[in-house]
């Protein structure tokens, strides 16, 4: 048992840090162990509120972190993989699922010698960390993380001093709790601030349970701190949504409002609720009264926290449409999305769960290329000077966005390669990296095309009808392949059968272009065309052929190595105006 003082405070902080680290190791181990299953489960979530609720509950129970579940959910909403309605159910389920961690801490953390339990677990798991088989290694990480968490709980029990020896401190704390509503606001703020600071409601709850067990806090004040911690745990989700789009901000706001409104509704009935919890503890669980028996307080707080989340879940599930509309109204829509990093930056810790985010960014890049191709189609046709300048400004805007996003997406994919992902995901990352490099080549070629078009217009070089027609055919070929590439990326079902329906006979097209170019030489020899027009045409044709070759390589990449990112068809990202 530690004494009060700076050393004692540092020991408490160290025990909490060890608890958070153990929670992190265990959560990441579970994510890597079951990330493919979690990813597929989240992607298959429907509009049904019960299925989305259960998905959120079991995902949080497995990850042992409601924050991890809600951050993943926000990132999937940001990418258009799941709807806001499905996200609402998942977030409500995640809050109820967070009670599993509290019960685990209550049952194991205050009734056993945790060193005796954890050290043998670490000894058994440690050898598997050095086995190449990823699944066994992830199991070992999960067990070791859980063991570290238990050791931290034991340390926390040992380093928090018994307040009965500090009568002056007892008097001071009792005075703080005797100011009615002001006391409630004070301890609600303390619970919120502490949880927001350490970014872990489980660690905050573990400390609160330890404090009540050692007599530092009365039961009613501890219950108020638990409610403050429920609000504090929403901070990480809100921060994660800052880099996302409007829909992701709405999803994060659902999490904030669930806890904030739940606390507001609960506070007026707090004495009644605490009396009900005490009655349940005495007559249902057959234990002591948590108001007067310190050994019953940890279980009483676990019952209180569970009751709070279940009541709030029933309430908000029953009014979910209104709940979603209200949360949506609290988010100010952007006048225009910037287009920079629409999806990445809100992903999970693991490559398996982050892959759909990277995929959606690649789709967005393809949509920008499709817009560049459409602009080129309009410019090749007759345009006025004002229309030409407007189209060129739009093209330059897309080219700049493509350059920035391609670099960021490459770094994001490389960071995923460094993660210990599954073999399936490693192949998928390789596919997306290759596609991203091809997109960069296409962007660079379009940049050259628009420079050539500007020079051509300045020198007043004009194409003849046949030249323009053949160039438009090449542009149309690119459009066809872009549409198919986007379709394959959106469906996530990539195999050679998807080539069926691609109405593009490449050998026949190539022969048509060669036949025309022979005729073009004859026209030049007869003096029917100017040399400058022919040279500009050939340069333009070479650029377009290079783009079409890169697009064929993208289609080959999609068909040769199946990505198979779930069975769900993703919602197409909104094309930019």
Q: Could you give the residue ranges of the DSSP H alpha helices within 283-422?
A: 297-318, 320-329, 351-380, 385-418
Main-chain phi, psi angles of 401, to 5 degrees: -65, -40
Would you state the structure tokens that stand for residue 422, as one six-digit string?
């599954």
Rounded CA separation 184/250 (Å): 29
Residues written for the chain: 577
Rounded CA separation 495/488 (Å): 9
Compute the average pLDDT of residues 91-95. 90
Flag whether pLDDT at 271 surpasses 70.
Answer: yes
Pair 349, 23: CB distance under 8 Å? no
Compute the average pLDDT of residues 281-291. 80
pLDDT at 203: 76
How many CB atoms within 10 Å of residue 172? Answer: 10
Q: Hey, is 84 helix, strand or coil?
A: helix
Mean pLDDT of the chain: 76
Q: For 489-512, b where at least 16 C-beta lie within 10 A, e where not — what string?
A: bbbbbbeeebeeeeeeeeeeeeee
Would you state the structure tokens that stand for residue 563, as one six-digit string?
């990505």
Rounded CA separation 106/490 (Å): 45
Report CA 481 to chain centroid distance, whole Å: 30
Lowest-confidence pick of 136-150, 304-318, 476-490: 136-150
Write down the residue that tokens 């333009």 correspond to: 540
Lowest-confidence pick of 115-124, 410-419, 487-496: 487-496
pLDDT at 216: 75
Radius of gyration (C-alpha) of the chain in whole angstroms: 30
| Between 404 and 157, the higher pLDDT residue | 404
Lowest-confidence pick of 79-93, 161-175, 380-394: 161-175
Write down the residue that tokens 């497995």 correspond to: 62
pLDDT at 307: 92
Rounded CA separation 11/7 (Å): 6
Would you state the structure tokens that stand for residue 67, as one six-digit string?
């924050």
| Between 218 and 566, the higher pLDDT residue | 218
| Between 568 and 135, the higher pLDDT residue | 135
**Which domains are seen in the chain, by residue range?**
6-329 (no CATH), 353-560 (1.20.58.220)
Compute the average pLDDT of residues 479-487. 86
| Between 172 and 282, the higher pLDDT residue | 282
Rounded CA separation 557/553 (Å): 6
Flag whether pLDDT at 337 surpasses 50.
Answer: no
pLDDT at 503: 46
Most confident of 63-72, 344-353, 546-555: 546-555
Flag whether pLDDT at 171 surpasses 80.
Answer: no
Rounded CA separation 52/93 (Å): 7
- 153 pLDDT tier (thresholds 50, 70, 90): confident
- 574 pLDDT tier (thresholds 50, 70, 90): very low
pLDDT at 421: 56
- 308 pLDDT tier (thresholds 50, 70, 90): very high
| Between 58 and 163, the higher pLDDT residue | 58
Lowest-confidence pick of 234-243, 306-315, 445-454: 234-243
Rounded CA separation 278/226 (Å): 16
Would you state the structure tokens that stand for residue 13, as one six-digit string?
């902080």
Main-chain phi, psi angles of 472, to 5 degrees: -65, -35
% the chain with pLDDT above 70: 74
CB neighbour list of residue 91: distance below 8 Å, 6 or more residues apart: 56, 69, 70, 73, 251, 254, 255, 258
Write down the residue that tokens 């500090």 correspond to: 166
Quickly count helices (H) and strands (E) in the chain. 21, 0
pLDDT at 444: 92
Backbone torsion region of residue 564, taken as left when φ is above 0, otherwise alpha when ψ lies between -120 and 50, otherwise beta: left
Write down the residue that tokens 């509309």 correspond to: 325
pLDDT at 377: 87
Pair 99, 58: CB distance under 8 Å? no
Q: How far is CA 110 from CA 12, 20, 164, 238, 539, in A?
A: 16, 18, 19, 33, 77
pLDDT at 512: 63
Compute the average pLDDT of residues 75-88. 79
Pair 4, 37: CB distance under 8 Å? no
Q: Which long-range contacts (CB under 8 A, 24 or more apart) does 551-556 make?
A: 551/438, 551/442, 551/478, 551/481, 551/482, 551/485, 552/481, 552/506, 553/438, 554/435, 554/438, 554/439, 554/481, 554/485, 555/481, 555/484, 555/485, 555/488, 555/499, 555/502
pLDDT at 108: 72
pLDDT at 98: 86
The crossing angle, in degrees rounded to 10, of helices 351-380 and 66-78 is 10
Using CB atoms within 10 A of its CB, is residue 565 exposed (0-12), middle (13-18) or buried (19+)?
A: buried
Flag whether pLDDT at 252 surpasses 90.
Answer: no
% the chain with pLDDT above 90: 6
* Whole-structure pTM value: 0.68
């Amino acid at each position: 048992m530690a004494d009060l003082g700076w050393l004692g405070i540092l020991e408490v902080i160290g025990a909490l840090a060890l608890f958070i680290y153990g929670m992190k190791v265990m959560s990441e181990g579970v994510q890597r162990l079951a990330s493919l299953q979690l990813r597929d489960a989240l992607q298959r979530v429907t509009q049904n509120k019960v299925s989305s609720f259960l998905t959120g509950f079991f995902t949080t129970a497995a990850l042992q972190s409601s924050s991890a579940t809600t951050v993943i959910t926000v990132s999937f909403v940001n990418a258009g993989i799941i709807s806001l309605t499905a996200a609402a159910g998942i977030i409500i389920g995640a809050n109820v699922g967070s009670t599993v961690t509290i019960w685990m801490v209550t049952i194991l953390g205050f009734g056993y010698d945790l060193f005796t339990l954890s050290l043998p677990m670490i000894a058994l798991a440690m050898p598997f960390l050095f086995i190449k088989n990823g699944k066994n290694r992830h199991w070992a990480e999960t067990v070791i993380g859980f063991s570290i968490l238990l050791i931290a709980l034991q340390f926390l029990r040992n380093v928090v001093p018994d307040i009965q020896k500090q009568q002056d401190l007892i008097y001071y704390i009792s005075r703080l709790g005797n100011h009615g509503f002001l006391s409630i606001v004070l301890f609600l703020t303390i619970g919120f601030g502490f949880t927001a600071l350490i970014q872990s409601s489980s660690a905050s709850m573990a400390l609160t349970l330890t404090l009540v067990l050692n007599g530092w806090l009365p039961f009613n004040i501890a219950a108020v701190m638990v409610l403050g911690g429920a609000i504090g745990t929403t901070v990480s989700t809100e921060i994660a949504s800052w880099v996302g789009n409007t829909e992701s901000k709405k999803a994060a706001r659902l999490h904030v409002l669930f806890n904030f409104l739940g606390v507001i509704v609960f506070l007026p009935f707090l004495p009644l609720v605490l009396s009900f919890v005490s009655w349940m503890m005495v007559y249902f669980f057959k234990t002591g009264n948590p108001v007067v028996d310190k050994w019953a307080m940890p279980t009483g707080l676990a019952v209180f926290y569970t009751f709070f989340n279940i009541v709030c879940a029933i309430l908000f599930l029953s009014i979910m449409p209104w709940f979603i509309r209200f949360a949506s109204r609290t988010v100010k829509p952007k006048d225009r999305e910037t287009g920079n990093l629409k999806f990445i930056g809100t992903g999970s810790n693991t490559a398996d769960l982050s892959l759909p985010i990277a995929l959606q960014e690649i789709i967005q890049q393809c949509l920008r290329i499709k817009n560049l191709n459409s602009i080129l189609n309009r410019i090749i046709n007759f345009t006025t000077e004002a229309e030409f300048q407007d189209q060129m400004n739009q093209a330059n805007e897309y080219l700049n966005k493509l350059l920035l996003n391609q670099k960021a997406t490459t770094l994001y994919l490389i960071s995923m390669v460094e993660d210990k992902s599954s073999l399936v995901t490693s192949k998928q990352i390789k596919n997306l990296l290759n596609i991203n490099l091809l997109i960069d080549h296409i962007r660079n070629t379009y940049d050259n095309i628009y420079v050539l078009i500007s020079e051509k217009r300045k020198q007043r070089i004009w194409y003849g009808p046949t030249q323009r027609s053949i160039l438009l055919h090449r542009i149309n070929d690119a459009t066809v392949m872009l549409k198919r590439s986007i379709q394959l990326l959106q469906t996530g079902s990539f195999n050679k059968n998807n080539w069926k329906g691609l109405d593009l006979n490449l050998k026949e097209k190539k022969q048509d272009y060669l036949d025309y170019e022979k005729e073009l030489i004859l026209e030049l020899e007869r003096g029917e065309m100017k040399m400058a027009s022919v040279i500009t045409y050939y340069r333009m044709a070479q650029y377009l052929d290079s783009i079409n070759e890169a697009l064929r390589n993208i289609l080959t990449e999609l068909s040769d190595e199946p990505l198979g990112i779930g069975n769900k068809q993703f919602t197409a990202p909104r094309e930019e105006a």
